[in-house]
């Protein structure tokens, strides 16, 4: 796939990899000779040349063994030696049985690699080599190729490498009875764009998603939630380990005061239905701000309806003062703008209310403007 896109690809198999797919296959597909060890083509000093030559290294599948060797800096074949000489972005796509993936040794190796700026994708969940399934599956090749393209498109910017970020996305639903809920029009696209761009810039990303009808992002751990209370709980669980928290989800401010176990019925006598009483939900953003750990950057969103740009800014600044977050993304959601659209117009305010950036265009470009502002504030 990468070659079809015009990339020049060099394949560096391990000896074990060649037991599954032979060298002639790799040589024919890549158009280059392959070797597994540093003792071939010695005058060329392959491991140094490869490390300098590559714009990106992708290890896919990354075995538990190779993750361990890379984490401890072992250099006993051409692949691991090249990993030590490469200064470009490195992406690893672990694939193994669930037990191997969850083993503390593997998890510690992954954490070490991530702390050094390697993008270690979370494996997909699904059918494994045997009849079993679970986390440990190699993401689909097209998904891996997309990750490579996104990182290359972001140039050499790996300014979030080794950083852990949590993004909330989508809209919560507050149930009224078994068939009805109070919801909102958020599609989750902005949160998805934030997660995609953070991953492309090297971050380790957790996405807390409420009712989003978008394909899972490879290499991003997604936690699905339904109500504001569930989103709150998930954020409290994920935020302490994160260096940046972006609350792009549309969280319900209110929920029905009571939930009816039975569907609320129309009265036969034609009388009006009872009014739905509402109660306040926890303010998730304000709570995350109050629990912010030192150095953590918390970003809020303000979806406002206003008649002028000045009024929009004033509403944003008032919200910023109430919430105390480090950055607030203010956008006008009047007349069906923003929700479900692929573009966004927004102003990013700094903690003191000054305009940090004015972003117009795709949700991806707004995501990049937000991460630019976050990256500047990270310790
Ligand atoms: C049929 C078979 C399937 C395997 N699948 C995996 C796997 O998916 N992930 C993994 O980490 N190891 C797997 N292994 C074990 C590795 O092949 C073994 O750890 C090897 O030493 C890895 O070497 P390398 O990291 O140098 O490629 C498998 C072994 C066999 C025989």
pLDDT category at 339 given cuts 50, 70, 90 is low
Q: Domain boundary residue among 153, 173, 193?
A: 153
Same domain, 127 and 241: no
Same domain, 146 and 170: no
Q: 3-class SS at 11?
A: coil
Catalytic residue status for 344: no
Classify residue 325: in a domain, yes or no: yes
Q: Rounded distance, CA 236 to CA 242, Å?
A: 11
Secondary structure element (H or E) that encloses residue 246, with its range: strand 244-247
- Nearest CA to 10 out of 69, 88, 117 is that of 88
Cβ neighbors of 350 (< 8 A, separation 6 or more) are: 326, 327, 356, 373
Of 43-47, 113-117, 141-145, least confident by mean pLDDT is: 43-47
Q: 3-class SS at 358?
A: strand
Classify residue 1: in a domain, yes or no: no
342 lines ligand 1 (CB under 6 A): no
Residue 149: the pLDDT is 84
Find the domain containing 344 and state its range: 164-377
Same domain, 236 and 195: yes
Q: Would you say residue 150 has pLDDT above 90?
A: no
Residue 338: the pLDDT is 52
Alpha-carbon 339 to chain mean position: 20
* Residue of the CA atom closest to atom 1 of ligand 1: 129
- Nearest CA to 91 out of 23, 10, 158 is that of 158
Catalytic residue among 184, 281, 331, 344: 184
62 lines ligand 1 (CB under 6 A): no
pLDDT category at 331 given cuts 50, 70, 90 is confident
Q: Domain boundary residue among 153, 178, 205?
A: 153
Classify residue 321: in a domain, yes or no: yes
Q: What is the pTM of this model?
A: 0.71
Mutate to test the pocket of ligand 1, among 14, 63, 79, 139 (most ligand atoms within 8 A of CB): 63
Residue 337: the pLDDT is 54
Same domain, 42 and 96: yes
Spacing, Cα 158 to ligand 1 middle (Å): 30
Q: Would you say residue 334 has pLDDT above 80?
A: no
Q: Express each pLDDT in 224-256 by its tens digit.
A: 999 999 999 999 999 999 999 999 999 999 999
Same domain, 252 and 148: no
78 lines ligand 1 (CB under 6 A): no
pLDDT category at 376 given cuts 50, 70, 90 is very high
C-alpha to C-alpha distances, 275 to 71, 175, 186, 192, 257, nearest whole angstrom: 60, 15, 25, 36, 11
Per the prediction, the chain carries an average pLDDT of 91
Count of domains observed in the chain: 2
Q: Express each pLDDT in 259-294 by its tens digit.
A: 999 998 888 888 888 889 999 999 999 999 999 999
128 lines ligand 1 (CB under 6 A): no
Q: Rounded distance, CA 242 to CA 293, Å?
A: 9
End-to-end CA distance of the chain: 38
100 lines ligand 1 (CB under 6 A): yes
Same domain, 149 and 174: no
Q: Domain boundary residue among 125, 153, 181?
A: 153
């Amino acid at each position: 796939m990468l070659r079809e896109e015009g990339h020049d690809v060099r394949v560096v198999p391990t000896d074990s990899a060649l037991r599954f797919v032979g060298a002639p296959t790799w040589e024919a597909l890549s158009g280059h000779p392959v070797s597994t060890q540093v003792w071939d083509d010695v005058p060329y000093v392959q491991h140094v040349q490869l490390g300098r030559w590559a714009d990106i290294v992708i290890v896919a599948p990354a075995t538990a063994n190779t993750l361990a060797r890379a984490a401890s800096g072992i250099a006993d074949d051409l692949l691991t030696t090249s990993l030590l000489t490469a200064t470009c972005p490195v992406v690893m796509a672990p694939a193994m049985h669930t037990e191997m993936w969850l083993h503390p040794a593997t998890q510690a190796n992954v954490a070490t690699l991530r702390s050094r700026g390697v993008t270690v994708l979370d494996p997909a969940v699904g059918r494994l080599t045997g009849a079993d399934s679970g986390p440990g599956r190699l993401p689909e090749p097209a998904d891996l190729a997309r990750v490579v393209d996104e990182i290359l498109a972001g140039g050499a910017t790996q300014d979030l490498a080794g950083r852990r970020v949590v993004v909330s996305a989508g809209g919560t639903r507050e149930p009224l009875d078994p068939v009805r809920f109070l919801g909102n029009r958020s599609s989750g696209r902005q949160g998805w764009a934030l997660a995609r761009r953070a991953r492309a810039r090297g971050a380790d990303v957790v996405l807390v998603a409420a009712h989003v009808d978008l394909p899972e992002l490879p290499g991003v751990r997604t936690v699905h939630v339904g109500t504001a209370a569930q989103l709150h709980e998930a954020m409290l669980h994920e935020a302490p380990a994160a260096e940046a928290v972006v609350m792009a989800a549309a969280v319900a401010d209110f929920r029905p005061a009571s939930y009816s176990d039975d569907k609320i019925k129309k009265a036969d006598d034609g009388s009006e239905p009872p009014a739905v009483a509402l109660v306040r939900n926890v303010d998730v953003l304000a709570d995350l701000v109050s629990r912010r750990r030192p150095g953590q950057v918390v970003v809020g969103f303000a979806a406002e309806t206003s008649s002028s740009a000045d009024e929009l800014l004033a509403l944003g600044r008032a919200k910023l003062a109430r919430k105390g977050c480090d950055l607030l993304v203010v956008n006008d959601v009047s007349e069906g703008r923003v929700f479900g659209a692929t573009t966004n117009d927004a102003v990013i305010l700094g903690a003191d209310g000054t305009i940090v950036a004015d972003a117009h265009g795709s949700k991806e470009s707004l995501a990049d403007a937000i991460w630019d502002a976050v990256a500047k504030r990270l310790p």
